[in-house]
Structure 1
Amino acid sequence: MRILVIEDDDKIRRYVEQALRAERCAVDVAADGDEGLWLAGSHPYDVIVMDLMLPTRDGMSVLRQLRRSGSTVPVLILTARGGVEDRVSGLNAGADDYLAKPFAVSELIARVHALGRRQRPHLGSVLKFEDLELDLLGRRVSRGGQRIDLTPREFALLELLLQHAPNPVSKAVIIEKVWDRCFDSETALVNVHVSHLRKKLELPGSPPLIRTIRGVGFALGAEPA
């Protein structure tokens, strides 16, 4: 998943960012409301985690603007303002969930994953292709029953390929969905990560799973006959 965290407290922002990255999420961060609103309108996110008390533009204003613009991305409000009226106001403004500070990181992660699954109701918790399995809840990958350890970026990349299999995914879409920023200069890094992922997915006696489609991108599955 790709997550946007809008939080002005440096310590909390780094804490949340690190926790989400440990869960193999791609994470963008913003320290104020204007930056957060710009990022939310410029890139595709699966979930937004946002404080309410933000400089330049408060979280409620960001939330209302997102909903007015037609954005349906799930928003988890993370704030010290945990009173009933605050929660009701946030939910009425278009928030999908509300978590008061201080919070347990395990609960934050569980709520983020729940919101992400809500965005993808057609997908189960386990994605499969041939003998490859990716467990979204357990954050595990296996091929032929053999567990494969992936970095957060590799996990997100494989998840994207599985979601579209056997259709190809372009480098531009990979950068948008997997990378923290959307720069054309990062296409070389996509090649590097695909190469590393290919090697990790290789098993003796098994055909390669990821193929390159020249001028298009990458796809799961064998070359067509």
Structure 2
Amino acid sequence: MRILLIEDEAKLAVLVKNGLEKAGHSISVASNAFEGIAQVTAEKFDLILLDIMLPDKNGFDLLKELRSSEIDTPVIFMSALAESEHVIKGLDLGAVDYVKKPFDFEELKARIRNVQRKFGSDRVSLLRIEDLEMDLIKREVSRAGDSIELSKREFSILELLLNNTNRPISKAEITEKIWKINFDMGTNVIEVHMHQLRKKIDQAFDRKLIETKVGEGYLIAGELIKN
């Protein structure tokens, strides 16, 4: 499943993210409601794990905002507010479940599996273009059957390019979506990452997949197959 975790406790967020990724899920993290709304409106998720006590807006109000925006992604609340009134309020607002902190991690995984059985998942797990293949669940990349080791950033950039096949992606868009910051004209961080990515993806092959469109950005052209 593709899961968005909205949690402001950094240590807990890392633990949950790492644990769920080991269980085969793809996890994005937002540390406040503003970041959460930005991510859920830009990407499609199968499930949202939502803390209630966020620094900029409580989870109850955030869920109301999501539903008023016709975002119907299933939500599981995770909160130290364990009183029955809070649980009832969360469920009445439309959450599919409510996990009380501190929680047993195996129980959380079981509740997520229950959501997956109930609502299913239309998340794409495999991207393929020509002889390049990207497994989004196992986070593996191969070309012509040979495994390619990518860093986390390189993997994310390649996924962004593949999901936008035939459209140039600017440096500004890459920094915004991958680094979550505004583009700094004085840095060459994108060029460095793209150089390494090209070296790994294209160097050993006559057919170069990653193109540069001057003044526009980077592009992978072709017919993308999703499974």
| 1:126/1:134 contact within 8 Å kept | yes
Partner of 1:58 in structure 2?
58
Matches within 5 A, 1:71-82: 71=71, 75-80=75-80
CA deviations over 1:107-130 (Å, ceiling 9, x no partner):
65x959x98xx9994x63210011
Q: In the aligned structure 2, how far is the partner of 1:157 from the partner of 1:119? A: 27
| 1:74/1:95 contact within 8 Å kept | yes
Q: How many residues align?
A: 211
- Amino acid of the residue matched to residue 105 of structure 2? A
Partner of 1:33 in structure 2?
none
CA deviations over 1:166-213 (Å, ceiling 9, x no partner):
33223333233322x231227742332222111111353432221111
Matches within 5 A, 1:62-141: 62-71=62-71, 75-80=75-80, 89-95=89-95, 99-101=99-101, 102-104=103-105, 111=112, 121=122, 124-141=124-141
1:38 to 2:39 alignment: no
Report the CA distance shift for 1:88/1:106 in structure 2 as closer, same or farther (over 3 A): closer
Partner of 2:7 in structure 1?
6
TM-score, normalization by structure 2:
0.69
Report the CA distance shift for 1:196/1:62 in structure 2 as closer, same or farther (over 3 A): same
- RMSD of equivalent CA atoms: 4.1
Give how far 1:83 is off: 8.5
TM-score, normalization by structure 1:
0.69
Report the CA distance shift for 1:167/1:45 in structure 2 as closer, same or farther (over 3 A): closer
CA deviations over 1:20-51 (Å, ceiling 9, x no partner):
78889785542xxxxx2222344535555321
Partner of 1:146 in structure 2?
146
Q: In the aligned structure 1, how far is the partner of 2:214 from the partner of 2:121? A: 29
Give how far 1:73 is off: 5.8
Relative contact order higher in (CA < 8 Å, ≥ 6 apart) = 1
Partner of 2:183 in structure 1?
184
- State the secondary structure of the residue aligned to 1:185: coil
Gaps of 5+ in 2: 223-227
